[in-house]
Amino acid sequence: MQRLGVLTSGGDCSGMNAAIRGVVRAGLSLDIEVIGFYKGYFGLLNSLHEPLTTRSVSGKLQLGGTFLQSARCREMYQPEGQLQAVENLRRLGIEGLVVIGGDGSHRGAMAIHEQGIPVVAIPASIDNDIPFTDMSLGVDTALNNIIRAVDCLKDTASSHDRTFVVETMGRNCGYLALVAAIACGAEYALIPENPYNLDEICTHLRTRFQEGRDNSIIMVAEGIGSAQEIADQIKDRIGFETRIMVLGHYQRGGSPSTFDRLLAARFGVAAVDALVTGSNGSMLGLSCGKLVLTDLEQVIAAGRRPIDQNLMSLAMTLGF
C-alpha cells in the first residue's frame, strides 16, 4: 500500500485530532503517504484534500474538535454521491480509507467498501450509541465536561434550595445522562431507554426538600424531551423553583481526556495496521480493553447500541 486517506465525518468529538495523528504517524512509519480530506465526505466529493505530514499533526493531539473539520454530507446517502466518492479515491490512487465518525459516517464507509475500496472505520461520537465497541471516541471527554458543569451547578443549587434539570446530548441514547447522573450523584436520569413517572419523581423531590436536602439534580437525555419541558412540568406539579441547564455543544469540545487520547492513538494505529494486513469493510472497537474488528455490515445491521443493563441496575441500587 502506497497511499491511504483519512477523514472525520458527522458530529465532531474530542480525540479526533489524536486519531488522525495516529493514522498519519502509523502510515508514514510504513512509508505510506496519507491524504487528509477536509470537511468529511464533502471534501472527498469536492477535492478538498492534501497530504498530511508529521508537521500537519504536530501540536494537535491535545486539541478538541478536528483540524480536518467535519460535516454531515447528504450526497453520500445517494448512490451518485457514493460513486463519485469512489471515483475520486481511485483517481487519487488511494488504496485504503480511514473514516473517523459515527453511524451516518459508517454508512458512507460501507458504500465505499462495497465499491471495492478498502475501508476501516473508527467509532467516534459522544453519544456512545455505536454497537460493537464498549466506548466510542469522545465519550469520556464529553462525560468529563458534563460532570465538571454539574459539579459547579450543585454549588449554586444548594445555596438556593433549587432543583436543576440538566439536559445532555446523546440523540436517542441515554448513556451520557445515565453515566453522568451516577458520577455526579444526581437524583434522577430520565432517558429514552427507561420509562419514568413524573408524579413519583415530584413526590420524591418534595420529600427531599422537606427532609432538608438543599438541592436536587435531574439529568435529562435530549432524546426524551427538553429540560425546559420537564422543568415546567415539575413547577406545575409542586411549585418548586426549578432552573435548567442545557449543555448543548459544550459537551463535544475541549481537550481530550487521557482515556480518549490513548484510545485515539490505539484506534489510529490499528486502523492503518488493519488496512495494511488486508482488513476491509470493518470497524474498530474496544471490547474488554482489547481492540477488535467487526464487519461494518454487522455494525450497521445492529443499529443503536443498547444501554448497558449493569449501569441501569447500578443507578437503581444507588437510588434513582
Examine residue 102 and tell whether it contacts ligand F6P (CB under 6 A): yes
- Residue 278: burial class (beta carbons within 10 Å; 0-12, 13-18, 19+): exposed
Window of 119-127, 143-151, 183-191, 264-272 that interacts with ligand F6P by CB under 6 A = 119-127
In angstroms, give the least distance from the CB of 178 to ligand F6P. Answer: 14
94/221 with CB nearer ligand F6P: 221
Stretch that binds ligand F6P, among 28-36, 58-66, 169-177, 271-279 (CB under 6 A): 169-177
Residue closer to ligand F6P (CB basis): 22 or 170 = 170
Q: Pick the closer one to ligand F6P by CB: 41 or 269.
A: 41
Query: What's the min distance (Å) between Cβ of 103 and ligand F6P?
Result: 8
Least Å from the CB of residue 106 to ligand F6P? 12
Task: Determine which one of 12, 103, 127, 129 is catalytic.
Answer: 127
Q: Is 252 in the site for ligand F6P (CB under 6 A)?
A: yes
Identify which of residues 96 and 256 has a Cβ nearer to ligand F6P in the complex. 256
Q: In what order do the strands lie in the sheet with 242-246?
A: 188-190, 215-221, 162-168, 242-246
Residue 126 interacting with ligand F6P (CB under 6 A): yes
Among 14, 17, 88, 125, binds ligand F6P (CB under 6 A): 125
Is 155 one of the catalytic residues?
A: no
Tally of CB atoms within 10 A around 27: 27
For the chain, the DSSP string reads --EEEEEE-SS--TTHHHHHHHHHHHHHHTT-EEEEETTHHHHHHTT-EEEE-TTTTTT-TT-SS-TT-----GGGGSHHHHHHHHHHHHHTT--EEEEEE-HHHHHHHHHHHHTT--EEEEEB-TT---TT-S--BTHHHHHHHHHHHHHHHHHHHHHTTEEEEEEE--TT--HHHHHHHHHHT-SEEE-TTS---HHHHHHHHHHHHHTT--EEEEEEEGGG--HHHHHHHHHHHH---EEEEE-GGGGG-SSPPHHHHHHHHHHHHHHHHHHHTT--SEEEEEETTEEEEEEHHHHHHH-SPPPPHHHHHHHHHHT-
The one among 52, 118, 127, 279 contacting ligand F6P by CB under 6 A:
127
Interface stretch with ligand F6P, choices 56-64, 163-171, 232-240, 272-280 (CB under 6 A) = 163-171
Residue nearest to ligand F6P (CB): 169
| 170 binds ligand F6P, rule: CB under 6 A | yes
- Nearest approach, Cβ of 245 to ligand F6P (angstroms)? 16
Based on the shown chain and the rule CB under 6 A, indicate whether residue 40 belongs to the binding site for ligand F6P. Answer: no
Nearest-approach distance from CB 238 to ligand F6P, in angstroms: 30
Q: Which residues have a Cβ under 8 Å from the Cβ of 147 and sit 6 or more positions away?
A: 180, 183, 184
Q: Between 109 and 205, name the residue whose CB sits nearer to ligand F6P.
A: 109
Shortest distance, position 65 Cβ to ligand F6P, whole Å: 12
- Residues lying near ligand F6P in the complex (CB under 6 A) are found at 11, 102, 125-127, 169-171, 222, 252
> Which residues are marked as active site?
127
